[in-house]
Amino acid sequence: MAVLVTGVGYIGAKLIDELLRVGEHVVAIDNYFSTDRRAIGYLRKREGLTFVEGSVNSRATLAAAFSAHSEISTVYSLAAQSSAHPGAASARYTEITNLLSPRLLLDTMLEFGTKTIVYGSSFWVYGRALPEIITEHTPYGSFSDLSHLSKCYVEKLLEMYAKQAGLCSVAVRLGIVYGISPVMKRDYRTMTAPNKFCLQAVRGEEIVVNSGAECPAGFIHIEDACQGLLAAARIGTPGDFVPVNLVTEMLTIHEVARIVAREAGARGILAKLRFLAPERVEKPHVTSRIDDVGFIAKHKMDGSLGSVLDFFARAESLGDVH
């Protein structure tokens, strides 16, 4: 028996690392759209991993992945064009990857008899202007980009397949993920704010908090995110659609920038900050079903970003830019 991970990117590579560590057999799919081949070269050599190069919008690629092992018990669906930056990908690529591919994946699951899917959704489904209390019953918010809008469509698609085909569909609404992964992005268009700010500090660049970033956001360390994704597979039964909030802290981007500056200063790095937006300090209270399966977060941002700064400092000194 094996599990399938679609998308060997920043989160997917770390999840695969953890799955292999605990003895799982893993089948993985990636097309290298936003991941350098060298970054996951070592993963492809790991015992227990079968790598299928190709796109999740290809029925042939999906069939090859499901045929690579005698039985796929669980799918962790992380392949997506996740950046809201308009220059990260074309609208067509985002729509094909984020809207068409999930339906093809679900159809292939049914064809091969796999019943459980854990989908990497986003805490941004609640929009930017967050209410005082957020539960998994909180309505969807408003959106300004196709990437996050697509999460709502896929969640409803998962709900439909759960009800009509008896799948166990879990949508994990991930906060902004930070920390060190086997795949570390360097393209600012595809980086999350904490990691991006760390790289900018190391490079001596100004860290700018733009207008529109005044509202608090949900964050989670990548190790906690992976443990949460694994725990989510234990939630729900066939025929269930279960949305799950997975954030461990609510912070403003201003706070993130100040944490980076403080950690950088402790390493003799002067981080230059510029705030173009006011700061709203009122933060919502978030509840989550993940607590029901004993998930306990182990990381806080304050105290965790030093290792990210150290990673980028070493990489920059070695000229390692992939």
Q: Looking at the structure, tell me whether residues 281 and 233 fall in a common domain.
A: no
Q: What percent of the chain has pLDDT over 90?
A: 75
For residue 265, count other CB atoms closer than 10 A to its CB.
12
Of the two residues 187 and 88, the one the predictor is more confident about is: 187
pLDDT tens readout for residues 203-247: 999 999 987 777 899 999 999 999 999 999 999 899 999 999 999
Q: How far apart are CA 11 and CA 94, in angstroms?
A: 18
What is the predicted pLDDT for the residue at 87?
66
Distance between CA atoms of residues 322 and 125, nearest Å:
31
Write down the H helix ranges in 166-288: 193-203, 222-232, 253-265
Q: What is the CATH number of the domain that holds 309?
A: 3.90.25.10
User: pLDDT tens for residues 109-124?
Assistant: 999 999 999 999 999 9
Q: Whole-model pTM above 0.75?
A: yes
Same domain, 92 and 206: no
Model pLDDT, residue 321 = 52
Judgement on whether residues 149 and 228 belong to the same structural domain of the protein: yes
Q: State whether 94 and 228 are in the same domain.
A: yes
Q: Which amino acid is at 80?
A: A
What whole-number distance in Å separates Cα of residue 123 and Cα of residue 140?
10
Q: How confident is the model at residue 280 (pLDDT cuts 50, 70, 90)?
A: confident
Residue 245 lies in a domain: yes
242 and 107 assigned to the same domain: yes
DSSP-derived 3-state class of residue 255: helix
In a domain, 31, yes or no: yes
Give the DSSP H/E element, type plus range, for residue 49.
strand 49-53
Q: Are both 125 and 147 inside the same structural domain?
A: yes
Record the tokens describing residue 217, joined without a space. 């956001």
Q: What is the CATH number of the domain that holds 97?
A: 3.40.50.720
Question: Does 183 fall in a domain?
Answer: no
8 Å CB contact between 212 and 277: yes
Q: Which domain holds residue 288?
A: 188-217+252-317
Check: CB of residue 122 under 8 Å from CB of residue 174.
Answer: yes
Q: Give residue 85's pLDDT band: very low, low, confident or very high (50, 70, 90).
A: low
Query: Number of folded domains in the chain?
Result: 2
164 within a domain of the structure (yes/no): yes
